[in-house]
Amino acid sequence: MKLVVITTSIAAIAALGACTQTGNTERGAVAGALLGGAAGAIIGNNTGSGDAGQGAAIGAAVGAVGGGVAGSQQDRTQEAGRASGQYATGPNGEALVYDRQYERYYYVDRRSGRTYWANGEFRG
């Protein structure tokens, strides 16, 4: 039981670190690891040899991969929406410009004059 508490605590700390400006891939991986670890601990404790720690580790790994894949798909869907013109402006109404070299959209921030990719990442 102590291992479950320690594993859950570590996963919660990792989740707090993912609350920064990250994409859906990272957030999905952390959420998947948390849910998978909890489910794995419960299943591992109630089946087989009753090893909740091993179940939590396996569940966290599988959950992280599954969550990362799901988050990555969300990122791709959002990027496709931007490319199709669904998102035609930056956050302050700036027009998006297509960069053929990188095959991505960017905008020029009116206030600072800096350029950012359509997802908000600094472009340079």
Report whether 33 contacts 14 (CB < 8 A).
Answer: yes
Query: Which range, 24-33, 45-54, 55-64, 98-107, is most confident?
Result: 98-107
pLDDT value at 20 more than 70: no
pLDDT digits (tens, 9 = 90+) for 74-124: 777 777 665 655 557 778 788 888 888 988 889 999 888 999 998 889 997
**Which pLDDT does position 103 carry in this prediction?**
86
Secondary structure, 3-state, the chain: CHHHHHHHHHHHHHHHHCCCCCCHHHHHHHHHHHHHHHHHHHHHHHCCCCCHHHHHHHHHHHHHHHHHHHHHHHHHHHHHHHHCCCCCECCCCCECEEECCCCEEEEECCCCCCEEECCCCECC
Tell me how far CA of residue 70 lies from CA of 11, 28, 77, in angstroms: 19, 7, 11
pLDDT value at 21 more than 80: no
End-to-end CA distance of the chain: 49
**Structure token pair of residue 100:** 């053929």
**Which pLDDT does position 38 carry in this prediction?**
85
d(CA 94, CA 33): 37
| Percent residues over pLDDT 90 in the chain | 4
**Which pLDDT does position 116 carry in this prediction?**
93
Q: What is the mean pLDDT of the chain?
A: 78
Domain layout of the chain by residue ranges: 2-83, 87-124
**Which pLDDT does position 95 carry in this prediction?**
87
**Which pLDDT does position 93 carry in this prediction?**
82
d(CA 98, CA 58): 43
Average pLDDT over residues 10-36: 71
